[in-house]
Structure 1
Amino acid sequence: MQIQARGFTFDVYEGGPADGAPVLLLHGFPQDHREFDLILPRLHAAGLRTYALDQRGYSPGARPAAVADYRLGEATADAVAVLDALGVDRAHVVGHDWGAQVAWLLAAQHPDRVSTLTAVSVPHPRGLGVALSNQPSQKLRFAYMGVFRSPVAERLLLGANGTVLRQMMRPIGARAGLYATAMREPGRLTGALNWYRALNRGQLGAVGKITVPTTYVWSDGDPVVGRPAALATASWVAADYRFVTLRGIGHWIPEEAPRALADVTLARIGV
């Protein structure tokens, strides 16, 4: 469906029983709503109603031109506005990668709208900030962001039929081609990269403690997030908290380990 919110048109993919408890799914880079396709059958079978949102930059009707329009606060406000438009007062929230960052902010700033939180791969922003300040290895893991923020990023990532994008997502096999092909749509990759260009430490440092039941799912083969950042997240959740480590899995958890993620998500939701 297409949802009108905040002057934009967002693509939202719904599924599951119409009367099921709502679940908002927030994707990361360079994916879209399809990264959750492999866990949806389990969620629907458990009686849940899912709403997978293509976030700003990804939905064709939500691609503002200014880099500042891609700050995390804007994406968080999008999520709230989409829930409003759907008539959903509270939802279980699942976010991966950038979607996890939005989910952390949503839970911190609007706890009344979040029933439970399942954050995947990316830890609480304050935990991540601690690791970036104290762990040279975490800074090294984030070195790629400098490339993504640069003016040549689009040319680099789209060159040779999206070879770099496909190599990044090699662990998910042929599914990588779905996202590399989609990024050739005019304006899509620039919008997606503007999330990196708009990021600053101030946005992350302002996120408070989480007061809703939370599960953080980290994988020990993730080249982006190291163990110290993952472990630091516990200090920023003042509610029932579970830290789940997936062994031998990389960054693309929803597609590398969909069964495990579905199990963890359902356990957190309590169905």
Structure 2
Amino acid sequence: MNISTGAGVFDAIVAGPPEGRPVLLLHGFPQTAMAWQRQIAALAAHGYRVVAPDQRGYSPGARPQHPADYRVNLLVDDVVAITEALGWAAFDLVGHDWGGAVAWWTADAHPGRVRTLTVVSTPHPGALATTLRTDDDQRERSRYMIDWRETPATEERMLAHDAQMLRAFYAGKVPRDSADAYVRHLSRPGALTAALNWYRAGRPDGTIGGIDVPTLYVWSTNDSAFGPRAAQETGRWVNGPYRFEILQDVSHWVPEEAPDALNRLLLEHLRAHGAYGSAANSPSVNSPKGKP
């Protein structure tokens, strides 16, 4: 499916009945909407209307050239534009990796439209910023974000020798056919540079606060990018109902490595908050109150 917006045309995977409850899935780096295949199938089978777009830069029809065109506020605007094009007044939002970061910012900026939030791997941006100031382990884990701002050397290294470096990121945890598809996609002219522009766009234009919508955060113990301090800190940044789940011995690639566990948690979360806005301001026994 192609979704036309003012920012361009986004390619998307669509499944489930048109009248189903709408769910938007946001992928991360270095993947595409294909990362959600198992979640798309599970949600559609339970009657949800699921849309997973290839995000800005990953969709050829929405691939601006300059790093500044990948600022977080513009990525959030894409979410709003896509859902408006779909006719969704409100929706459930799910994100992984960079898609998780965009999901946090979207829930903060548009709480009236986001029915529930589910984020996989990526801590709340405020929690990550706090931990980067105080935790040597997280600073070391995040060092790659600085290294990848180098261009075009980063692209050349990642794609050299049949994309050996790019393939190594998946660490054997992503199915081989999916990894091959991601490499093919990102090997096309301009695609990898566009994906890396997410890292080169600079700091967000504003600040993010506490999240008021019902939130599920799923973190895995073998995640190489995000450590336990940032994961634990995330609960301080959610004011609404909050559920924090830890998957043992699972790497960063949760949607593909542990699809059954993630699907179970996601479906439970959606069922627990079934009505638009019904639980957005309810007290939570699992998370501290108040914005940090």
Work out whether the TM-score is over 0.5.
Answer: yes
Confirm or deny: 8 A CA contact 1:132 1:138 kept in the other structure.
yes
Q: Give aligned pairs, total.
A: 269
Per the TM alignment, residue 188 of structure 1 is displaced from its structure 2 partner at its CA by: 0.7
- Structure 1 runs of 4+ aligned residues shifted over 3 Å read none
Range moving further from structure 2, 5-14 or 105-114: 5-14
Deviation at 1:176, TM superposition (A): 1.4
Unaligned 5+ segments in structure 1 are none
For residue 174 of structure 2, what is the aligned residue in structure 1?
172
For the aligned residues, what is the CA RMSD?
1.1
Instruction: State the partner residue of 2:147.
Output: 147
Q: How does 1:95-174 map to 2 (within 5 A)?
A: 95-151=95-151, 152-170=153-171, 171-174=173-176
CA distance in 1, matches of 2:44, 2:56: 26
Residue 6 of structure 1 aligns with which residue? 6
Q: CA deviation at 1:146?
A: 2.2
Deviations 1:13-53 (A, max 9, x none): 21011111000000000101000002222111111110001
Q: Which residue, out of 184, 192, 197, partners 2:200?
A: 197
Note the alpha carbon deviations across 1:137-183, whole angstroms, 9 max, x for none: 10000111122111111001111111111111022140211111111
Contact 2:15 2:41 in 1 (8 A): no
* CA-CA distance at 1:219 after TM superposition: 0.2
1:182 alignment counterpart: 185
Alignment correspondent of 1:241: 242
Contact 1:162–1:180 (8 Å) recurs in 2: yes
User: 1:213-235 deviations in whole A, cap 9, x for unaligned?
Assistant: 00000000001000010011111
Paired residues for 1:16-27 under 5 Å: 16-27=16-27
Among all aligned residue pairs of Structure 1 and Structure 2, give the percentage whose two residues are the same amino acid: 45
Instruction: Please give the secondary structure, in 1, of the residue aligned with 2:244.
Output: strand
Q: So what's the TM-score if we normalise by structure 1? A: 0.97
User: Structure 1 CA distance, aligned partners of 2:85 and 2:116?
Assistant: 20
- Paired with 1:105 and 1:7, the residues of 2 have a C-alpha distance of 18
CA distance in 2, matches of 1:136, 1:6: 42
Residue of structure 1 in register with 2:211 after alignment: 210
1: CA distance, partners of 2:188 / 2:264: 34
In structure 2, how many angstroms separate the alpha carbons of the residues matched to 1:10 and 1:41?
A: 20
Matched, 1:253 2:267: no
- Whether the 8 Å CA contact 1:141–1:224 is kept in 2: the answer is yes
TM-score by length of 2: 0.90
Mapping 1:209-228, distance limit 5 Å: 209-228=210-229
Q: Measure, in 2, the Cα distance between the counterparts of 1:37 and 1:28.
A: 14
Deviates more, 1:20-29 or 1:174-183: 174-183
Contact 2:11 2:53 in 1 (8 A): yes
Q: Take 2:202 and 2:231, find their aligned partners in 1: how far apart are those partners?
A: 20
Work out the CA distance in 2 between the residues paired with 1:129 and 1:66.
25
1:162 and 1:181 in contact (8 A); partners too: no
Cα distance between partner residues in 2 of 1:231 and 1:116: 20
Gaps of 5+ in 2: 273-292
Given residue 253 of structure 2, which amino acid in structure 1 is its aligned partner? Answer: W
Residues 27 and 54, structure 2, Cα contact 8 Å, conserved in 1: yes
Which structure dedicates a bigger proportion of its chain to helix?
A: 1
Instruction: Tell me, yes or no, if the aligned pair for 2:7 and 2:78 is still in contact at 8 Å.
Output: no
Aligned residue type for 1:179: Y
Give the aligned residue type for 2:24. Answer: L
